[in-house]
Amino acid sequence: MTTYGFLGLGIMGNAMAANLVKAGFDVTVWNRTPAKCAPLLALGARQGLSPCDVVAACDITFAMVSDPTAAREICFGPDGVLAGIGDSRGYVDMSTVDDGTARSIMQAVSARNGRFLEAPVSGTKKPAEDGTLIILTAGDQSLYEQAAAAFEKMGKMHLYLGEVGQAARMKLVVNMIMGGMMAAFCEGMALGTKGGLDGSQILEVIAAGAIASPMFKGKGAMLLQGEFPTSFPLKHMQKDLRLAVSLGEALAQPLHCAAAVNEIFKQACAAGHADADFSAVFEAIR
């Protein structure tokens, strides 16, 4: 029976790990704040003392942390992943990072006889809870095949994209587009309501036409109510936009819209909305 580890139990990681435990898998969890392990322990998971401890005890270990800095820390830091990897054990980093970070982790894991897969996800809190994420993977194909049973409990779709770095790039493209859509949506809602239009009717017209979107439907009510419970933190969207713009610079691809949207999200972070849902960019726009 395959044993699984899970490192990082934030908004996304907690829900993803819970789906593995509920499916009857043998799961050991770790979080920098140990108290966050409690709900999973109640479901039947075990608690590891460190990333090293979890990786050394499990056939495959997943990680879901906030950004490239956290991904590097959990891998290269004291009692980190590298201290426990080896013997062809698998490490699957599901965090959203840049392709350079993914490759550096892959090289370090491989040098210690481990197998590595990058597997960032498309989806926010609700899809994570429902097990309907889209999982984008690249790296060791044997690990992809071995982890497929777990991916099926966490997502509705999992893709293998080839060499490490390609999944990171795919995720940044998707989130860059999503950030741009949200900024345009918020500008339209702000313009319409300031012009005397009824916000609910704007949403109704959008939902009936060619630009209808599950995101607009889900976030529209939040904009009208002025409440932004966190599903995907605004600061994480800004991080992804920043990484996408950096990728554009590296590839000599102009990203005029993305660069402007990144500035809007930076403004929203500076205005105190960093930990709110990314739809709170509406507060900075209006």
Classify residue 146 by burial, with Cβ atoms within 10 Å: 0-12, 13-18, 19+: middle
Candidates 190, 273, 263; CA nearest to 232 is 273
- Please give the sequence-ordered ranges of beta strands (E in DSSP) within 142-214, or none if there are none: 155-160
Per-residue buried b or exposed e for 189-210, using 16+ beta carbons within 10 Å of the residue's own CB = bbebeeeeeebeebbeebeeee
Catalytic residue of the set 22, 125, 171, 217: 171
For 138, the enclosing helix (H) or strand (E) is strand 133-139
Pairing label, strands 121-122, 115-118: unpaired
Among candidate residues 272, 271, 278, 207, the one with its CA nearest the CA of residue 241:
278
The amino acid occupying position 225 is: Q
Catalytic, 219? Answer no
Q: Which residue has the tokens 């990897």?
A: 85
Catalytic site positions: 171
